[in-house]
Structure formats: C-alpha cells, structure tokens
Amino acid sequence: DELKQILQQENLSDKKWLHIGGGSNLLFTGDYEGVILHSAIKGTEIVYEDDEAVQVRVGAGEVWDDFVAYAVNQGWYGAENLSLIPGEVGASAVQNIGAYGVEACDVILSVEVFDTQKGTFFEMPKSLCEFEYRGSIFKKNPHWIVVSVLFELTKKEHVYRLDYGNVREQMHGKELSLDNVRQTIIEIRKSKLPLPSEMGSAGSFFKNPVVQESVYDDIKLRYEDVPFYRVEGGVKIPAAWLISQCGWKGKSVGMAGVYEKQPLILVNRGGATGAEVLNLMEEIQESVRTEFGILLSPEVCIIR
C-alpha cells in the first residue's frame, strides 16, 4: 500500500526513479539524477505445507541469505547452494541469482509484482517469468517492482548438487547433510570473495560465456586445460579462467582492480569512481576478445 502511495505522489510522478534491492549488483557511473526507491517489504510466511514440500512467501526486502539460513534450519532442501549470495529476495528473482549448479528459478514458484504504469498488483507464475542465465522478464520490465517471491522447497532429503567448483572436494570427510553443504559453500565463498564490508565489489562482474563448439575446439587446441561445461546451446567456459589467461588476476587500473583470489571479481581498492571500474571492465573485455574472440558480458547492472 505504501509503495502505491509513494509512486502516486506529485513530487515523484514526474521524476526519474530507480528501484533497487541491496545494491550489491549495481555499478553507478555517476550521481543518479532522480529518486532511489528501496524496498523494506519484510515477512516470511508458509502458505502451504505437506509431508514432502513447503511453499513459502518471502517479502522482497528480506536479506537473501537470511532466507537460505532459515530454510536450512527448518530442514528444507533446495536453496543451500545459494548460501551467502549478497542481496535481497526481490532481486533474486530479477537477476535469477545462481551458484554451484543451482539457480533461484529452481526453487521459485511465482513472483508477486506491482506494475507502476497500471497501478496494479499481479502474480507471475514461474512459467511466464522467462528465467534465463542471470536474467528474467523482470529485468526487461523495470516498471515492474517485485513485492514478494513464492518459493517451493522439499522436506525430503534430495540429491545434493556438489559437482560444481570444488564443493565435493571440500565436502570430503564431512557427513553429507544440509547444514554441512551450506557451511561448505559459505567457507568456499569466503575464501574466494571479498566481504562487502571489507572491500567494495559487485560480486561476479561478468557472465560465464556460452560459445559454439567450434570456438571451444579452437581454444582447446591452444589451451589443453581449458575448463568447460556442456550446456544447452553450446559450451560454457568460466569467465574467470579467460580473464586469468589474459594476465589480469590481481592487476589494477587506477584504484579499480581485479581481485587476486578470484579474477571474476572487480574491486574498489579505495576511492575508485564508477567510471574507473567501467574503464577496467572495458579493458578486460578487449583483452579477452583479442585473445579468444569472446566478448564478455557484464553480470552487474550498470547505471549510467
């Protein structure tokens, strides 16, 4: 109700505005000449439950990892691989966040949305959300604001996804349990990624490119150890590997740099402007394009 009232106010109706979540996936290249809206819609409500599954509606303003921790503590399976991803629940649907072989869309049933142009609320079922790798219909329609997300998790122990990254290796010797998988994911992320409270970053800056088989074959002729995953539409090659092969790991341009533990992360080493980070992004893109013929696409939302 407050969201509807705010957007009808005279001082906002004729102004440029931007709705954000926690802001952890945004790069501002300068001051934003408009109004920033940030959801504080909270709440976690069980809407259906039986012996095998549970459906939970979560407010868009809830911290994502708080929800994952809650699900694990309840013994609900499905979201554990998405532990410690920064941001909020509303953005999880917009961005279709993912890690270690799992994406948000794997556990989303529907998304509640407010259409700012029509002034109406509606429920978008998963089948119409156009979820894709780090994208959704919500990303293509910025006049829609996510209000809440309905998730479905299983209550019966499922097949854990351990074959991405070094999850299975790090699980060696540990009891296979929901909590241990979550804690292992957290340990891996902390070892590879800077904490936002300690060093500014936007997490994984680039999407992992999916290339044609012929492109992969050409790269493999020159780099026998190129890592890859076969996916629908071609071969996915880790962007971090491509960036590292171009010598960017740990390098800086001005005060913007490439994180020494994970080259997919661009960091602010202190006082870097949005323009500096953008310049670093473009230099990395050009290096990878020149060496491999692949144009890396940013995963981060760039606000110009």
**Cα 64 from Cα 304, distance rounded (Å):** 26
Specify which residues 12 forms β-bridges with. none
- Catalytic residue check, 134: yes
Please pick, among 80, 189, 204, 276, the residue that the annotation labels catalytic: 204
**Cα 163 from Cα 250, distance rounded (Å):** 27
Q: Indicate whether 10 pLDDT > 70.
A: no
- Catalytic residue check, 291: no
Element (DSSP H or E) covering residue 151: strand 144-154
**Cα 148 from Cα 44, distance rounded (Å):** 9
pLDDT cut 90: percent of the chain above it: 79
3-state secondary structure (DSSP) of residue 196: coil
Tokens of 203: 């997490």
Average pLDDT, integer, range 171-195: 93
Please pick, among 80, 103, 112, 299, the residue that the annotation labels catalytic: 299
- Write the pLDDT tens digit of every residue in 242-301: 999 999 999 999 999 999 999 999 999 999 999 999 999 999 999 999 999 999 999 999
DSSP string, 237-275: --HHHHHHHTT-TT-EETTEEE-SS-TTEEEE-SS--HH
Q: Indicate whether 185 pLDDT > 70.
A: yes
**Cα 178 from Cα 176, distance rounded (Å):** 7
Rg of the chain over Cα atoms, rounded to whole angstroms, equals 20
- Indicate the residue type of 135: G
pLDDT class for 13, splitting at 50, 70, 90?
low
CA distances from 78 to 72, 88, 96, 156, 300 (A): 9, 17, 15, 10, 25
**Cα 285 from Cα 203, distance rounded (Å):** 17
Q: Which are the contacts of 13, defined by CB distance < 8 A and separation ≥ 6?
A: 7
Specify which residues 229 forms β-bridges with. 236
Please pick, among 57, 134, 182, 189, the residue that the annotation labels catalytic: 134
Average pLDDT, integer, range 199-222: 93
- Write the pLDDT tens digit of every residue in 50-68: 999 999 999 999 999 999 9
- Catalytic residue check, 204: yes
**Cα 76 from Cα 54, distance rounded (Å):** 8
Q: Are 214 and 207 in contact (CB under 8 A)?
A: no
Specify which residues 55 forms β-bridges with. 48, 152
Specify which residues 61 forms β-bridges with. none
Candidates 215, 208, 211; CA nearest to 239 is 208
